[in-house]
Each structure stands twice: as C-alpha cells, then as structure tokens.
Amino acid sequence: MSHLLLIAIGPVQDFIASARRTRDLWFGSWLLSELAKAAAKSIYQAKGNLIFPYPTNPAQDLAPESAFNVPNKILAKVEGDIKKIADTAKQALEQRLNQIRDGAFDQVKGTFYDEQAADQIAALVEFNWVALPLGTDYAKTREQLEHLMAARKNTRNFSEVTWGTNAPKSSIDGERESVIDEKYYPPAGMANTSPEYAKIVARLYRDYGINVGERLSGVDMLKRHGQKGIDSRFPSTSHMAAIPMFNFLNKYDEANANISLIDPWNRYINFFNTNSTLIKYIDNERTPKSQKNFGNIDGSLLFAERFNDTLEGNDLSDAQNALEAFYTALGVKKRPIPYYAILHADGDAMGSVINNQEVIEKHQEISKALAKFADNKRDINPLNDSEERSVATIVAKHQGALVYSGGDDVLAFLPLHTALECADALAKRFQTLLSNFKDKTDRSPTLSVGIAIVHHLEPLSDALDLARAAEKKAKGFVGKNALAINLSKRGGADRIIVGSWIESKYSFYNRLKKLIEWHQTDQIPLGFAFELHDLSIRLKDLPANIFHAEAKRIIERKHTSNGIKVSSAIATELLAMINDLVPETLTQAHIMIQQFADEVIIAEFIADAQKLANGN
C-alpha cells in the first residue's frame, strides 16, 4: 500500500540564530540542509517518490556537499515498511551528523571534553515523522498529514540529559555547558595588560578559535570548526559594510594614474604579516569574497574600531595607526560607511497554493520551481539571461553573501548599496517561477522581503531580530507581496517602512529609487523629511489636506546642502508622491506622512552608500 510520509527535522530557527559570528550562522544553516539531504537521499534509495523537495537529478543533487538545498520538511510517497524507511532515514541523518562532527573536532588544536561535546551534538536533532495511507484524494491526505505532524510535535519525548555539568554555560546560546576547561582561561584578577594574559589570549585563539570571553558548547564547536568542503570561510558583517569602500578605492585607483593603492595596501598588510603577535589575527581576517586589488582580506581591516574586539595595548594602537597611515598615503578622506543589510524573504500564499494541488505531480512541479529558485549554484555571467538566475546567483551578482536558500525562504547579507536592487530581483524571479501555480482565489505565490540596515558592530542576534521584524512587517502588509526596510542607526530611533511590490508610477519601490536618485545628485534637502516627521507626531489629528499644504510649504522654502532651492519640477513630483500616498480621504494621515518622511531619510542613507560605491 502507498503511504504519504512527512518528516520534520529541527530545531531550525533557534539553532540557526544562536550565532555570534556570521560564519557560525552560515554553517548552522548549511548543516541542517546537509542533514535533511541525507534523510531525503535515504528515502530515495528506498525507492521513495520524493515530492518535496524534488531533485531533478537525485544522484547528484542529494550527494553530500552538493549545491542542492533541502528544507527541514520532507514529503514523499513510499511503499513497504514505513517505520523501517523512517528509521533508516534518521540513521542516515545521524551518520552524516557524526561525519561533520568528527571533521569539526579534528580542526580543534586544543583539548576539550570531546565525549560531552559529542553527547550535546547527539541530543541536538529533533526527528519527527508521520505517515498516512495515500488513498485517492492526495490533497485531503496531505492536509491530514500536516495536522498529524502538528500533533506529533506537541507530543514531546523527554529523556535524561547525560552531559550536564556545573561548567559555565555557552556564551552563544546560554543553554548547554562549555566543553573547554576553565583552566585554559585567564584566572580571575589577572591584569589584561600582563604578558601572561596576552599569551593565554593568543593560545585560546590559536587552539580553539575563540576570544577570551567566549565559552563554547559542543554544538558551538561544531558550528565554529565544521568544514564545508574546501569553502569554509564566510565574510563578516564588517566586510559587507566595507564593500562600497572597496569599490570606491578600486575606482579611485583607476581614476588616479599617478597614485596607486597597491603599495600603501601592501605596506598595511605587511605590518600584520611581520608582527609575530598579529600574524594569526590577519590569517583569521580572510574571506571568500575577494576584492580586486585587496585579495581575500576581510573588510574588517578597513574599520579601526574592529581591532578593539581582539587586540589590546600596543597591538591595538599600532594596528589603528597602520590603518590611518594607509588612508593618509592615499590621500583619501572617505571612510567606510559602518552599515550593511540583512535580507530575509519568505513566499506568500505558498500553503494555499500547495493545498490547491490535487495530484502529486502538480506538487512536484511546485517543488521543482522552488528548487530552481533556491539553487545554490552561482552563475554571474552577464550574458546569462537574468530570468535563469538562482538565488545564489542573484545575491552574488549584488556582491552579497548567501546564508541560506531553501524552498521559498532566503537569508542573505548584502552591502548597503545593492540591497534594494537585490530584493527586487529576487521578488521578480520568484514570481516568474511560481506564476503558473494558483490557489482557490486564483492567486499565485509572491515574495515578501524584509531588509534590516544594521551597524556592523551590532550583535548578530539583535541584527537578525531586526531582519525578522522587517520580514514580519512585509508579511503583515495588506495583500502581502511587500518590501519592508528597517533602519537601525546607533544613537537613533529605528525607522521601518513598508510597501507593496505592485508596480505603479509612485509605487513604493519606484518612489524609493527616485528619492535615492535625487539624494545622489543633492537635489532634495534631508531637513524637510525631519520637519514632516516631527509634524506628523505633534499634529497627528490633522486631516490629510492640511498635511498636504504643510508639506508644500516646507518643501518650497527648503534648500539643499549646496544652498540651492528645490527645483519646481522636483517639488511638484515630491508633492505628487505625498498626494498619492496620502489621499485626502485617508484617516490618520499622520501615519503615512511619517512613512514618507522615513522613506526620504532611508533613501538618503542608501544613496550615500551608492555614491561611495560609484566612486563619488
């Protein structure tokens, strides 16, 4: 008899999000995909018919370390002993986990409680499965199966924790105990300026890849030291923030034939390479995102404040002086903008569209389209039609770093100057691939995108919360199919704006592009946005027509930063944007006036990054 088998693998969000470094986040996402892939391969080898995910070339796609991403849910049509198939899939998952664990532990030079670490990792994965006879109504059986899985997840299995100790908790997730003996850390009261303290710090970094304040559990060790084939580095948040500056320096070098950045840059890097206490520091500050003229050096080396994390005393001041000497030698007054973007996207109406598929083959077609969208292979050949691009290719084209793409779920880091265009390209690609699939209301899936603009030194967990808040704002927009941007400036209030992807002359995305263009050419003053924002707070009960009149008055008397009045053409278009966004019949007009003011402010922020990246 044929059965539908549904497997859910966890934990997902908590496990992925518990990361202090981008590399930990990226590896945790990849690890879960690898484990799900091993389970999916086991089902395929048992002659199961995979429905979601749907690999077009199973032997290649389900191989370890392939570019094919497998989400944490697996749906298949299977024959025979259901329990045996599910148990074998779980064994395959555990075997793959042990392989990755052993590879990670081999990378650790120092001693640690490896048995306790292995126990913590073994207890990490949640593997739940349910099955039902298929019958003749696929859609109804699948719906029942989802309800059954929800009930299964609420029926928890509890077992005794075998690895609990009185050791300090992990500094990453705060749940599991550290597996590194405290004797390897500086004793209480030791001066952090002493030579012995410096030796201990260097040994912690050399043997465990950690800073003095970090405590790692076995799961943290797995993330920190696990290997993803030959590609086991990931750019930092600082590198993402530095990319516009890298672009500026490259263009500056091309435009100034009598000044080369190569020699000053090499002198700066040689400062680290010839300093015995700093060689290991620069070895860690490398990234697969190589930059022209700069090699694979991470962009954190362009920020003096980043040295505060791991350097102290003379090393700190010497490194900061060396960086300033590099900028001075070039005669460059520009400095990196210390902000980057996190993009978090999720499909809309996916559940209702899948529920509307009455046969397995139609569901497999959706899975195939999602796999094509989420493909981790990168192709940035400009001759390739953009309609053929995958998530990985789109993110790479925009100089970003993809953390995860599985099904309709995307998480990526991006430099500030490309984040908006990348979001637009992803939304269009998703809608194109899924346009042939409808729900009962004749709606096709769309992609809602949240972008968080965050300071590069913001704790990663907080930055991810901001990205999730933006994605939630987009998903909560009327009709979904939306973009939300959350700007979190240090020392200022967060600003979040949201609007639909639906095209019109003054649609949200088109409005932002136009505002950015005007900011780049210094044709609109930023001051009027702050006045509008202040007005919306102080006089929130005003009707829309009064806000229109006040906006006109503010715009007409404002001057740009170079002392020029706003042109009548631009003033007219700004007012048209406000009138379109805030019709006179709108109640609580102050909310949308505030939105427009924040759009102007955020657009200026993005425009500054684009000007820098363009060499201006």
Right CATH number for 2-154 from 3.30.70.2220, 3.40.30.10, 3.30.70.890, 3.30.70.20? 3.30.70.2220
Cα gap 186→183, rounded to integer Å: 8
Count of CB atoms situated within 10 Å of the CB of 570: 16
Position 12 scores a pLDDT of 64
Position 367 scores a pLDDT of 93
Residue 295 pairs in a beta bridge with 291
Average pLDDT over residues 251-264: 76
pTM of the model: 0.89
Please, what is the end-to-end C-alpha distance for the chain in angstroms? 68
Residues 6+ positions from 4 with CB-CB distance below 8 Å? 75, 76, 77, 78, 131, 132, 134, 138, 141, 142, 145
Cα gap 388→386, rounded to integer Å: 5
Q: Which 3-state string (H, E, C) describes 210-271?
A: CCCCCCCCHHHHHHHHCCCCCCCCCCCHHHHHHHHHHHHHHHHHHHCCCCCCHHHHHHHHHH
pLDDT, averaged across the chain:
87
Q: Which one is predicted more confidently, 289 or 39? A: 39
Q: Is the pLDDT of residue 400 over 60?
A: yes
Least confident of 28-32, 179-183, 398-402, 453-457: 28-32
Are 345 and 290 a contacting pair, CB within 8 Å?
no
Six token digits for residue 152: 């299964």
The domains spanning 2-154 and 338-502 adopt the same CATH topology: yes
Six token digits for residue 524: 């609109």
Task: Report which of 462, 511, 502, 506 is spatially closest to residue 486, judged by C-alpha positions.
Answer: 462
Least confident of 1-5, 383-387, 467-471: 383-387
Position 421 scores a pLDDT of 97
- The CATH-assigned architecture of domain 338-502 is 2-Layer Sandwich (3.30)
Domain boundaries, the chain: 2-154, 182-214, 237-330, 338-502, 504-616
Position 37 scores a pLDDT of 95
The helix/strand/coil state of 122 is helix
Cα gap 223→602, rounded to integer Å: 34
| Tens digits of residue pLDDT in 307-322 | 877 677 777 888 889 8
| Tens digits of residue pLDDT in 68-127 | 889 889 999 999 999 999 999 999 999 999 999 999 999 899 999 999 999 999 888 889
